[in-house]
Amino acid sequence: MSMENTLLAPVLAAPRRRGVWQVRIAVAIVALLALFIVAAPFIAPHDPDLVDLAAKLQGPSAAHWLGTDHLGRDMLTRLIYATRISLGSVAIILLLVLALGIIVGGASGFIGGRFDRIVMRFCDVFLTFPTFVLAMFMIGVLGIGMVNVIAAVVLSHWAWYARIVRGLVLSMRERDYIAAAEIAGAGRVRIFTEHIMPGVLAQLLVLATLDIGHMMMHVAGLSFLGLGVAAPTPEWGVMINDARQFVWTQPLLVLWPGMMILISVMAFNRLGDALRDRLDPAFRIEHC
Protein backbone atom coordinates (compact mmCIF):
# COMPACT_ATOMS: atom_id res chain seq x y z
CA MET A 1 0.00 0.00 0.00
CA SER A 2 1.48 3.34 -1.01
CA MET A 3 1.66 6.56 0.91
CA GLU A 4 -1.35 8.08 -0.84
CA ASN A 5 -3.46 5.11 0.08
CA THR A 6 -2.48 5.41 3.69
CA LEU A 7 -3.55 9.01 3.87
CA LEU A 8 -6.76 8.20 2.06
CA ALA A 9 -7.60 5.25 4.29
CA PRO A 10 -10.04 7.12 6.56
CA VAL A 11 -11.86 8.41 3.50
CA LEU A 12 -12.07 4.93 2.05
CA ALA A 13 -13.35 3.53 5.31
CA ALA A 14 -16.21 6.02 5.39
CA PRO A 15 -19.44 4.59 4.00
CA ARG A 16 -20.26 5.81 0.53
CA ARG A 17 -23.52 5.74 -1.33
CA ARG A 18 -23.06 2.78 -3.56
CA GLY A 19 -25.41 0.56 -5.49
CA VAL A 20 -28.49 2.77 -5.64
CA TRP A 21 -30.00 0.28 -8.07
CA GLN A 22 -29.60 -2.46 -5.43
CA VAL A 23 -31.62 -0.40 -3.00
CA ARG A 24 -34.29 0.21 -5.62
CA ILE A 25 -34.58 -3.53 -6.27
CA ALA A 26 -34.75 -4.18 -2.53
CA VAL A 27 -37.58 -1.66 -2.14
CA ALA A 28 -39.42 -3.24 -5.07
CA ILE A 29 -39.08 -6.72 -3.53
CA VAL A 30 -40.34 -5.54 -0.16
CA ALA A 31 -43.28 -3.82 -1.86
CA LEU A 32 -44.06 -7.01 -3.77
CA LEU A 33 -43.97 -9.07 -0.56
CA ALA A 34 -46.29 -6.56 1.11
CA LEU A 35 -48.63 -6.93 -1.86
CA PHE A 36 -48.53 -10.73 -1.45
CA ILE A 37 -49.55 -10.36 2.18
CA VAL A 38 -52.41 -7.98 1.51
CA ALA A 39 -53.76 -9.34 -1.76
CA ALA A 40 -52.78 -13.03 -1.87
CA PRO A 41 -56.29 -14.26 -2.88
CA PHE A 42 -56.40 -11.85 -5.83
CA ILE A 43 -52.90 -12.51 -7.14
CA ALA A 44 -52.57 -16.25 -6.63
CA PRO A 45 -53.67 -18.24 -9.68
CA HIS A 46 -55.10 -21.23 -7.76
CA ASP A 47 -56.56 -22.33 -4.45
CA PRO A 48 -53.62 -22.96 -2.04
CA ASP A 49 -55.26 -26.00 -0.42
CA LEU A 50 -56.77 -27.60 -3.53
CA VAL A 51 -55.50 -31.17 -3.60
CA ASP A 52 -55.22 -32.74 -7.07
CA LEU A 53 -53.41 -36.05 -6.76
CA ALA A 54 -53.61 -36.62 -10.53
CA ALA A 55 -51.33 -33.61 -11.01
CA LYS A 56 -48.85 -34.25 -8.20
CA LEU A 57 -45.10 -33.52 -8.42
CA GLN A 58 -45.33 -31.86 -11.82
CA GLY A 59 -42.58 -29.66 -13.18
CA PRO A 60 -43.24 -26.06 -14.28
CA SER A 61 -45.95 -25.74 -16.93
CA ALA A 62 -48.33 -23.14 -18.34
CA ALA A 63 -51.03 -24.11 -15.83
CA HIS A 64 -48.64 -24.36 -12.87
CA TRP A 65 -45.80 -21.92 -13.41
CA LEU A 66 -43.63 -23.36 -10.66
CA GLY A 67 -45.05 -26.88 -10.74
CA THR A 68 -47.06 -28.74 -8.11
CA ASP A 69 -46.20 -30.34 -4.78
CA HIS A 70 -46.69 -33.93 -3.56
CA LEU A 71 -50.46 -33.36 -3.20
CA GLY A 72 -50.83 -31.63 -6.56
CA ARG A 73 -51.19 -28.18 -5.02
CA ASP A 74 -49.93 -25.23 -7.04
CA MET A 75 -46.49 -24.16 -5.79
CA LEU A 76 -46.72 -20.52 -6.87
CA THR A 77 -50.03 -20.09 -5.07
CA ARG A 78 -48.70 -21.65 -1.91
CA LEU A 79 -45.55 -19.54 -2.01
CA ILE A 80 -47.64 -16.38 -2.27
CA TYR A 81 -49.97 -17.39 0.54
CA ALA A 82 -47.02 -18.46 2.69
CA THR A 83 -45.77 -14.86 2.71
CA ARG A 84 -48.60 -14.08 5.12
CA ILE A 85 -47.42 -16.47 7.80
CA SER A 86 -43.67 -16.29 7.17
CA LEU A 87 -43.44 -12.50 7.04
CA GLY A 88 -46.55 -11.68 9.07
CA SER A 89 -45.21 -13.61 12.04
CA VAL A 90 -41.92 -11.72 11.78
CA ALA A 91 -43.79 -8.41 11.70
CA ILE A 92 -45.67 -9.34 14.88
CA ILE A 93 -42.46 -10.51 16.54
CA LEU A 94 -40.68 -7.27 15.67
CA LEU A 95 -43.54 -5.12 16.95
CA LEU A 96 -43.67 -7.00 20.23
CA VAL A 97 -39.90 -7.05 20.66
CA LEU A 98 -39.65 -3.33 19.90
CA ALA A 99 -42.51 -2.50 22.26
CA LEU A 100 -40.99 -4.54 25.09
CA GLY A 101 -37.54 -3.16 24.35
CA ILE A 102 -38.70 0.43 24.33
CA ILE A 103 -40.81 0.11 27.48
CA VAL A 104 -38.30 -1.87 29.54
CA GLY A 105 -35.09 -0.40 28.13
CA GLY A 106 -36.48 3.12 27.94
CA ALA A 107 -37.72 3.10 31.52
CA SER A 108 -34.50 1.51 32.72
CA GLY A 109 -32.26 4.05 31.00
CA PHE A 110 -34.40 7.04 31.81
CA ILE A 111 -35.16 6.31 35.47
CA GLY A 112 -31.69 4.97 36.17
CA GLY A 113 -30.37 4.22 39.64
CA ARG A 114 -31.31 1.04 41.46
CA PHE A 115 -34.28 0.38 39.14
CA ASP A 116 -31.91 0.39 36.18
CA ARG A 117 -29.53 -2.03 37.86
CA ILE A 118 -32.27 -4.50 38.76
CA VAL A 119 -33.85 -4.42 35.29
CA MET A 120 -30.49 -4.88 33.61
CA ARG A 121 -29.63 -7.89 35.79
CA PHE A 122 -32.97 -9.35 34.74
CA CYS A 123 -32.10 -8.78 31.08
CA ASP A 124 -28.67 -10.31 31.63
CA VAL A 125 -30.33 -13.53 32.72
CA PHE A 126 -32.18 -13.75 29.41
CA LEU A 127 -29.02 -12.89 27.51
CA THR A 128 -27.22 -15.79 29.19
CA PHE A 129 -29.20 -18.36 27.19
CA PRO A 130 -28.27 -19.30 23.63
CA THR A 131 -31.31 -17.80 21.84
CA PHE A 132 -32.25 -20.77 19.68
CA VAL A 133 -32.01 -23.21 22.59
CA LEU A 134 -34.20 -20.95 24.73
CA ALA A 135 -36.75 -20.67 21.92
CA MET A 136 -36.83 -24.47 21.53
CA PHE A 137 -37.29 -24.92 25.26
CA MET A 138 -40.16 -22.45 25.35
CA ILE A 139 -41.95 -24.14 22.47
CA GLY A 140 -41.47 -27.42 24.32
CA VAL A 141 -43.12 -25.95 27.40
CA LEU A 142 -45.88 -24.02 25.60
CA GLY A 143 -46.60 -26.61 22.91
CA ILE A 144 -46.23 -26.66 19.13
CA GLY A 145 -47.87 -23.92 17.04
CA MET A 146 -47.16 -20.65 15.29
CA VAL A 147 -48.42 -18.49 18.17
CA ASN A 148 -46.02 -20.27 20.49
CA VAL A 149 -43.18 -19.87 18.00
CA ILE A 150 -43.86 -16.13 18.00
CA ALA A 151 -43.95 -16.06 21.81
CA ALA A 152 -40.74 -18.06 22.00
CA VAL A 153 -38.83 -15.84 19.59
CA VAL A 154 -40.07 -12.69 21.34
CA LEU A 155 -39.10 -13.99 24.77
CA SER A 156 -35.66 -15.05 23.56
CA HIS A 157 -34.90 -11.73 21.82
CA TRP A 158 -36.54 -8.92 23.80
CA ALA A 159 -33.64 -8.52 26.23
CA TRP A 160 -31.25 -7.64 23.37
CA TYR A 161 -33.52 -4.80 22.40
CA ALA A 162 -34.03 -3.62 25.97
CA ARG A 163 -30.26 -3.45 26.37
CA ILE A 164 -29.81 -1.53 23.13
CA VAL A 165 -32.65 0.92 23.84
CA ARG A 166 -31.23 1.57 27.30
CA GLY A 167 -27.82 2.29 25.79
CA LEU A 168 -29.32 4.65 23.23
CA VAL A 169 -31.39 6.47 25.87
CA LEU A 170 -28.31 6.89 28.07
CA SER A 171 -26.28 8.32 25.19
CA MET A 172 -29.13 10.66 24.24
CA ARG A 173 -29.44 11.94 27.81
CA GLU A 174 -25.90 13.27 27.66
CA ARG A 175 -26.62 15.50 24.66
CA ASP A 176 -26.61 19.26 25.07
CA TYR A 177 -30.11 19.78 23.73
CA ILE A 178 -31.52 17.65 26.56
CA ALA A 179 -29.83 19.93 29.07
CA ALA A 180 -31.25 22.88 27.15
CA ALA A 181 -34.75 21.40 27.35
CA GLU A 182 -34.31 20.83 31.09
CA ILE A 183 -33.21 24.41 31.61
CA ALA A 184 -36.18 25.57 29.56
CA GLY A 185 -38.35 23.81 32.12
CA ALA A 186 -39.61 20.80 30.17
CA GLY A 187 -41.01 18.00 32.33
CA ARG A 188 -39.46 14.55 32.52
CA VAL A 189 -42.19 12.88 30.51
CA ARG A 190 -41.98 15.55 27.84
CA ILE A 191 -38.21 15.28 27.62
CA PHE A 192 -38.50 11.52 27.26
CA THR A 193 -41.21 11.45 24.60
CA GLU A 194 -40.28 14.53 22.58
CA HIS A 195 -36.54 14.83 22.90
CA ILE A 196 -35.10 11.41 23.63
CA MET A 197 -37.41 8.97 21.87
CA PRO A 198 -37.24 10.43 18.32
CA GLY A 199 -33.49 9.93 18.18
CA VAL A 200 -33.75 6.48 19.73
CA LEU A 201 -36.51 5.42 17.34
CA ALA A 202 -34.52 6.44 14.25
CA GLN A 203 -31.64 4.21 15.26
CA LEU A 204 -33.95 1.41 16.38
CA LEU A 205 -35.62 1.46 12.97
CA VAL A 206 -32.28 0.80 11.31
CA LEU A 207 -31.48 -1.98 13.72
CA ALA A 208 -34.91 -3.57 13.36
CA THR A 209 -34.69 -3.55 9.56
CA LEU A 210 -31.30 -5.22 9.73
CA ASP A 211 -32.75 -7.77 12.15
CA ILE A 212 -35.78 -8.75 10.05
CA GLY A 213 -33.70 -11.20 8.05
CA HIS A 214 -32.27 -12.74 11.19
CA MET A 215 -35.75 -13.15 12.72
CA MET A 216 -37.11 -14.63 9.49
CA MET A 217 -34.45 -17.30 9.54
CA HIS A 218 -35.14 -18.03 13.20
CA VAL A 219 -38.84 -18.51 12.49
CA ALA A 220 -38.21 -20.49 9.30
CA GLY A 221 -35.73 -22.71 11.14
CA LEU A 222 -38.20 -23.46 13.92
CA SER A 223 -41.03 -24.17 11.52
CA PHE A 224 -38.72 -26.27 9.35
CA LEU A 225 -38.29 -28.45 12.45
CA GLY A 226 -42.08 -28.85 12.46
CA LEU A 227 -42.63 -26.68 15.53
CA GLY A 228 -44.72 -23.99 13.79
CA VAL A 229 -47.85 -24.11 11.65
CA ALA A 230 -50.00 -27.23 11.31
CA ALA A 231 -50.24 -29.28 8.10
CA PRO A 232 -52.24 -27.59 5.34
CA THR A 233 -51.19 -23.98 6.08
CA PRO A 234 -48.45 -22.87 3.71
CA GLU A 235 -45.26 -21.45 5.24
CA TRP A 236 -41.83 -21.35 3.61
CA GLY A 237 -39.96 -23.32 6.28
CA VAL A 238 -42.64 -26.00 6.44
CA MET A 239 -42.75 -26.23 2.65
CA ILE A 240 -39.04 -27.03 2.61
CA ASN A 241 -39.64 -29.69 5.23
CA ASP A 242 -42.55 -31.16 3.23
CA ALA A 243 -40.41 -31.29 0.10
CA ARG A 244 -37.31 -32.85 1.67
CA GLN A 245 -38.25 -36.40 0.72
CA PHE A 246 -38.36 -35.32 -2.94
CA VAL A 247 -34.85 -33.87 -2.96
CA TRP A 248 -33.79 -36.70 -5.26
CA THR A 249 -36.79 -36.68 -7.60
CA GLN A 250 -38.21 -33.14 -7.66
CA PRO A 251 -35.55 -30.81 -6.20
CA LEU A 252 -37.40 -27.71 -7.46
CA LEU A 253 -39.87 -28.13 -4.58
CA VAL A 254 -37.09 -27.47 -2.08
CA LEU A 255 -35.59 -24.74 -4.22
CA TRP A 256 -38.58 -22.38 -4.50
CA PRO A 257 -39.46 -21.75 -0.83
CA GLY A 258 -35.78 -21.36 0.08
CA MET A 259 -35.41 -18.91 -2.77
CA MET A 260 -38.28 -16.86 -1.31
CA ILE A 261 -36.55 -16.76 2.09
CA LEU A 262 -33.17 -15.91 0.55
CA ILE A 263 -34.54 -13.11 -1.63
CA SER A 264 -36.63 -11.54 1.14
CA VAL A 265 -33.78 -11.67 3.64
CA MET A 266 -31.40 -10.15 1.07
CA ALA A 267 -33.88 -7.36 0.33
CA PHE A 268 -34.37 -6.49 4.00
CA ASN A 269 -30.63 -6.64 4.70
CA ARG A 270 -29.83 -4.36 1.78
CA LEU A 271 -32.54 -1.97 2.87
CA GLY A 272 -31.22 -1.96 6.42
CA ASP A 273 -27.68 -1.26 5.22
CA ALA A 274 -28.92 1.64 3.11
CA LEU A 275 -30.98 3.09 5.97
CA ARG A 276 -27.99 2.84 8.28
CA ASP A 277 -25.67 4.61 5.86
CA ARG A 278 -28.30 7.26 5.32
CA LEU A 279 -29.46 7.98 8.85
CA ASP A 280 -26.28 7.73 10.82
CA PRO A 281 -23.00 6.77 9.21
CA ALA A 282 -21.26 6.47 12.55
CA PHE A 283 -23.76 4.02 13.97
CA ARG A 284 -22.64 0.46 13.57
CA ILE A 285 -23.77 -2.46 15.65
CA GLU A 286 -23.14 -5.95 14.41
CA HIS A 287 -25.35 -8.09 16.50
CA CYS A 288 -26.80 -11.55 16.39
Residue among 124 and 194 whose Cβ is closer to other proteins: 124
Cβ 180 to other proteins, closest distance in Å? 32
Residue among 201 and 266 whose Cβ is closer to other proteins: 266
Cβ 9 to other proteins, closest distance in Å? 4
DSSP letter string, 174-197: TSHHHHHHHHTT--HHHIIIIIIH
CB proximity list for 202: less than 8 A, separation 6 or greater = 279, 280
Position 27, amino acid: V
- 178 touches 193 (CB < 8 A): no
Q: Which residues pair with 74 in a beta bridge?
A: 68
Cβ 207 to other proteins, closest distance in Å? 15
CA distance 283 to 208: 14
Under DSSP, is residue 130 helix (H, G, I), strand (E, B) or coil? coil
Cβ 51 to other proteins, closest distance in Å? 24
Cβ 28 to other proteins, closest distance in Å? 17
Residue among 11 and 183 whose Cβ is closer to other proteins: 11
Chain residues binding other proteins by CB under 8 A are 1, 3, 6-7, 9-10, 12-13, 121-122, 124-126, 128-134, 136-144, 213, 217, 220-221, 224-227, 237, 240, 244, 247-248, 251, 254-255, 257-258, 261-262, 265-266, 269-270, 284, 286-288
As a whole number of Å, the CA-based R_g of the chain is 23
Residue among 121 and 176 whose Cβ is closer to other proteins: 121
